Structure formats: C-alpha cells, structure tokens
C-alpha cells in the first residue's frame, strides 16, 4: 500500500471517529447525561471545563 493511500485511509478513519464522537456527545447532552470524556477529547473539548458548563 502506498503512502498516499495510507494517508487517505487514516484521514477517513479520523473523520469517522470525529463524526461518531460528535453524535455520541450530542445524544448524551440531549438526554441530560454527561458525554464520555473520550468523546469530548476527540472533539477538542476539555472534559473538566465541560463539567463547569450549565
């Protein structure tokens, strides 16, 4: 597998993980639950700072 194909596959995997984390976090917020810290970190949100949001 060439390097350019690996980069495209990696980029697709990162985009898929980002989309999944966004869906998971938004579902948690809609259901009045705290999102998983892992999902927040993928989205670039500090889990400690998110807990302070009201």
Q: Are 46 and 40 in contact (CB under 8 A)?
A: yes
Residue 28, CA distances (Å) to 10, 24, 41, 45, 48 in order = 27, 6, 15, 15, 16
Q: What is the dihedral of CA 37, 38, 39, 45, to 10 degrees?
A: 60
pLDDT tens digits for the chain (54 residues)?
567 766 777 888 899 999 999 999 999 999 999 999 999 999 999 999 999 987
What's the domain count of the chain? 1
CA distance 5 to 13: 12
């Amino acid at each position: 597998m060439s390097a350019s194909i690996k980069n495209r596959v990696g980029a697709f995997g990162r985009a898929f993980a980002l989309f999944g984390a966004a869906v998971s976090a938004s579902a948690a917020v809609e259901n009045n639950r705290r999102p998983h810290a892992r999902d927040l970190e993928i989205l670039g949100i500090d889990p400690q700072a998110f807990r302070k949001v009201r």
